[in-house]
């Protein structure tokens, strides 16, 4: 691990002022950043410990929504009674990821910024456009079984690893950001960027931007949400494919639908195409299959991950079936 | 102190836990030496003269390190570990795990993968289990840290330590302190009653010897009695 200057911020403004460039990193749980610093994948010059900031609370909003503080631990969010009751997809997603110890450390905002598990990104012996812009992508011609099939480019096929962020996408969450210029709110759908020719730029955040919280809108009345994660082993593993769905029925018809995919996209992947098929349609296997086909129609598999196309389709069909059974 | 309060030594299961206040490896009597003191001394002396230093190893290893003067690039830090305050100067790169083992001479917490994937380094921070390998020591000036050394002592074992011995919840013992720290945390977490629930709650701790069935039965026994 390379040397860095360590500071501890006790006020938001102090943290914001300390992040003068991308070489200054906030640390919260540390589960992702410190791991990558040990690998020399991250080499920050300045570490700003933001754990003392008053951003751990989970609070209700006047319009019936919920704000997850940036420093709310994944375990606290997952086990929060309101999250379990009104945003089950988020609780399920969080509990399907990492381990109990990691969930006690990892934070809401840290999880938002979790970096890819692409093995070439994590190994400095290989080229990687995300780690070293312009160096090339070793993954496209390499071991790409775990990597993305949606939102890829000729420069990067790294998978977005988080479960939390897939659920937050299905819940229409928005990100609260504070900077020296003031505060702003960015819908999660606009927060992440596909790699294109700049895979090292993953979000809209700029140096000096501090995520202060995540806002969940009021739950869809009468809706039901489900997270389904498919992986190589039943625990402690990243997704090969996952789906977060929020569905509201009106009789036998689908009145409201949100579909987000994990394990297959370069960012938490909302499928507007699947949602368009579902809205107003009868909830039956034919509709679900059509939605799944629509979601994957632009998939671009690599040499070893074409299985993800059908796996993701089946994941969508299964999660929709579950979400509409008793809704 | 040397490795007096780490996970139970594999041989410890031969004795009832309360019968012998000094499990193997804990003695500080002249002429006896622990696995840790042996390895520490070999590490210091190299492999040139293996046999003669053995007799001298134990006294050398039990002397606690003096707090070093502030070296360049270090930060002052006060840590509360097992109820005791420690003041030290530390390189900010030092993980909580390395600080416990190398700076505070509490080697009961083990380094396995060092990347948050195995759970051997599990300790409690403010009562919650965490991977100490993925946290910097300087991030914990106001926290209450508990390691396996603070859980129980020979002769006064925590019920979970005693249950691991009773149920043979280990073979080589390397993952055991992490398993026990996790298991104690499970007692306070929202975990269902079944064996499967315990397996789910304990999957952040890998045991390469595969002692899982015995670990589950040890945890379940303590949960039934709490």
pLDDT at B21: 38
Last residue of one domain, picked from the residues B96, B125, B151: B151
Last residue of one domain, picked from the residues B134, B151, B168: B151
pTM for the model: 0.89
Question: What CATH number has the domain bearing residue A42?
Answer: 3.30.43.10
Residue B70 lies in a domain: no
Q: Which of B115, B129, B138 sits opposite A101 (nearest CB)?
A: B129
pLDDT at A203: 98
Range of the domain at B107: 75-151
Per-residue pLDDT at A109 exceeds 80: yes
| Cβ-based neighbours of B73, under 8 Å, separated by 6 or more | A3, B91, B92
Interface check for A1 against chain B (CB to CB < 8 A): the answer is yes
Rounded Cα distance, A231 and A236, in Å: 9
Residue with tokens 């809401």: A108
Structure-block tokens of residue B142: 């106001």
pLDDT tens digits, one per residue of A208-238: 999 999 999 999 999 999 999 999 999 999 9
- Please tell me whether residues A160 and A89 are part of one structural domain: yes
pLDDT at B71: 78
Q: What are phi and psi of B204, to 5 degrees?
A: -80, 5
Residue B5 lies in a domain: no
Structure-block tokens of residue A237: 């593993």
| Cβ-based neighbours of A272, under 8 Å, separated by 6 or more | none
pLDDT tens digits, one per residue of A251-296: 999 999 999 999 999 999 999 999 999 999 999 999 999 999 999 9
pLDDT at B5: 42
- Please tell me whether residues A70 and A191 are part of one structural domain: yes
- Please tell me whether residues A86 and A235 are part of one structural domain: yes
Inter-chain CB proximity B95 and A47 less than 8 Å: no
Inter-chain CB proximity B115 and A30 less than 8 Å: no
- Please tell me whether residues A60 and A13 are part of one structural domain: no
Residue B204 lies in a domain: yes
Rounded Cα distance, B208 and B145, in Å: 27
- Please tell me whether residues A207 and A250 are part of one structural domain: yes
Beta-carbon-side half-sphere exposure of residue A321 (alpha carbons within 13 Å): 11
Range of the domain at A15: 5-49
pLDDT tens digits, one per residue of A114-133: 999 999 999 999 999 999 99
| C-beta separation of B97 from B125 below 8 A | no
Give residue B54's pLDDT band: very low, low, confident or very high (50, 70, 90): very low
Inter-chain CB proximity A4 and B92 less than 8 Å: yes
Query: How many A×B Cβ pairs under 8 Å?
Result: 75
Residue B85 to chain A, least CA–CA distance (Å): 20
How many beta carbons lie within 10 A of that of residue A172, not counting itself?
Answer: 18
- Number of domains chain B contains: 3
Q: Which of A14-18, A300-304, B23-27 has the lowest mean pLDDT?
A: B23-27
- Number of domains chain A contains: 2
Average model confidence (pLDDT) for chain B?
Answer: 81
What is residue B140's three-state secondary structure? coil
Residues of A in contact with B74 (CB under 8 A): none
Strands B122-125 vs B128-131: parallel, antiparallel or unpaired? antiparallel
- Please tell me whether residues B79 and B144 are part of one structural domain: yes
Q: Which of A33-47, A108-122, B38-52, B125-139 has the lowest mean pLDDT?
A: B38-52
Averaged over A230-253, what is the pLDDT?
97
Rounded Cα distance, A230 and A319, in Å: 11
Structure-block tokens of residue A266: 């370069």
Give residue B72's pLDDT band: very low, low, confident or very high (50, 70, 90): confident
pLDDT at B118: 98
| Cβ-based neighbours of A108, under 8 Å, separated by 6 or more | A68, A69, A70, A71, A72, A74, A77, A164, A213, A214
The CA–CA distances, whole Å, from A196 to A129, A133, A138, A213, A304 equal 11, 12, 16, 28, 21
Rounded Cα distance, A177 and B174, in Å: 44
Residue B67 lies in a domain: no
Structure-block tokens of residue B75: 């930060």
- Please tell me whether residues A79 and A126 are part of one structural domain: yes
The closest of B28, B201, B7 to B109, measured between CA atoms, is: B7
- Please tell me whether residues A297 and A281 are part of one structural domain: yes
Burial B82-107 (b: 16+ CB within 10 A, else e): beeebebebbbbbbbbbbbbebbbbb
Averaged over A48-65, what is the pLDDT?
98
The closest of A40, A61, A258 to A166, measured between CA atoms, is: A258
Question: What CATH number has the domain bearing residue A161?
Answer: 3.30.390.50
Interface check for A101 against chain B (CB to CB < 8 A): the answer is yes
Comparing B73 with A106, which gets the higher pLDDT?
A: A106
Question: What CATH number has the domain bearing residue B135?
Answer: 3.10.20.30
How many beta carbons lie within 10 A of that of residue A31, not counting itself?
Answer: 28
Question: What CATH number has the domain bearing residue B221?
Answer: 1.10.150.120
**ipTM for this prediction:** 0.96
pLDDT tens digits, one per residue of B124-146: 999 999 999 999 999 999 999 99
Residue B1 lies in a domain: no
Return the bridge partners of A254, or none. A249
Inter-chain CB proximity B93 and A79 less than 8 Å: no
Residues of B in contact with A98 (CB under 8 A): 204
pLDDT tens digits, one per residue of B162-191: 999 999 999 999 999 999 999 999 999 999
Longest CA span, chain B: 55
Rounded Cα distance, A228 and A246, in Å: 12
């Amino acid at each position: 691990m390379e040397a860095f200057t360590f500071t501890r911020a006790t006020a938001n403004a102090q943290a914001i002022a300390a992040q003068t460039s991308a070489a200054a990193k906030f640390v919260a749980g540390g589960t992702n950043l410190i791991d990558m610093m040990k690998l020399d994948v991250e080499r920050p010059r300045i570490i700003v410990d933001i754990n003392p900031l008053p951003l751990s609370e989970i609070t209700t909003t006047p319009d019936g929504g919920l704000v997850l503080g940036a420093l709310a631990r994944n375990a606290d969010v997952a086990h929060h009674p309101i999250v379990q009751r009104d945003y089950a997809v988020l609780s399920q997603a969080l509990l399907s990821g990492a381990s109990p110890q990691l969930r006690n450390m990892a934070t809401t905002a840290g999880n938002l910024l979790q970096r890819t598990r692409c093995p070439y990104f994590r190994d400095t012996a290989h080229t990687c456009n995300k780690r070293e812009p312009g160096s090339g992508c070793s993954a496209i011609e390499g071991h790409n079984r775990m990597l993305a099939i949606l939102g890829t480019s000729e420069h990067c096929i790294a998978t977005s690893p988080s479960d939390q962020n897939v659920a937050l996408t299905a819940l229409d969450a928005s990100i609260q950001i504070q900077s020296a210029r003031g505060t702003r709110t960015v819908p999660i759908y606009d927060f992440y960027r596909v790699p294109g020719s700049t895979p090292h730029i993953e979000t809209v955040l700029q140096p000096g931007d501090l995520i202060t919280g995540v806002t969940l809108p009021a739950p869809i009345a009468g809706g039901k949400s489900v997270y389904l994660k498919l992986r190589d082993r039943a625990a402690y593993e990243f997704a090969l494919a996952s789906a977060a769905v929020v569905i509201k029925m009106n009789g036998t018809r689908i009145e409201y639908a949100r579909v987000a995919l994990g394990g297959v996209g370069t960012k938490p992947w909302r499928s507007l195409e699947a949602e368009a098929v579902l809205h107003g349609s009868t909830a039956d296997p034919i509709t679900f299959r059509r939605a799944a086909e629509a979601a994957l129609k632009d998939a671009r598999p690599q040499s070893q991950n074409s299985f993800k196309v059908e796996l993701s389709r089946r994941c969508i069909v299964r999660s929709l079936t579950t979400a509409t059974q008793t809704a | 102190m040397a490795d007096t309060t780490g996970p139970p030594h594999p041989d410890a299961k031969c004795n009832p836990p309360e019968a012998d206040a000094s499990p193997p490896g804990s003695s500080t009597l002249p002429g006896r030496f622990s696995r840790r003191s042996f390895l520490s001394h070999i590490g210091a002396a190299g492999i040139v003269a293996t046999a003669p230093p053995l007799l001298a190893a134990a006294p050398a290893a039990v002397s606690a390190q003096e707090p070093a003067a502030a070296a360049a690039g270090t930060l002052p830090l006060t840590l509360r570990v097992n109820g005791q305050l420690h003041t030290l100067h530390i390189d900010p790169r030092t993980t909580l795990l390395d600080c416990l083992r190398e700076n505070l001479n509490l080697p009961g917490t083990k380094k396995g993968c060092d990347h948050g994937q195995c759970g051997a380094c599990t300790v409690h921070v403010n009562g919650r289990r965490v991977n100490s390998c993925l946290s910097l020591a300087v991030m914990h000036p106001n926290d209450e840290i508990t390691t396996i050394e603070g859980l129980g002592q020979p002769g006064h074992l925590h019920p979970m330590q005693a249950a691991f011995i009773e149920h043979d919840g280990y073979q080589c013992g390397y993952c055991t302190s992490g398993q026990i720290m996790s298991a104690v945390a499970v007692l306070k977490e929202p975990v269902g009653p079944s064996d499967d629930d315990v397996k789910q709650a304990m999957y952040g701790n890998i045991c390469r010897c595969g002692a899982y069935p015995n670990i589950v039965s040890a945890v379940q026994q303590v949960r039934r009695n709490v």
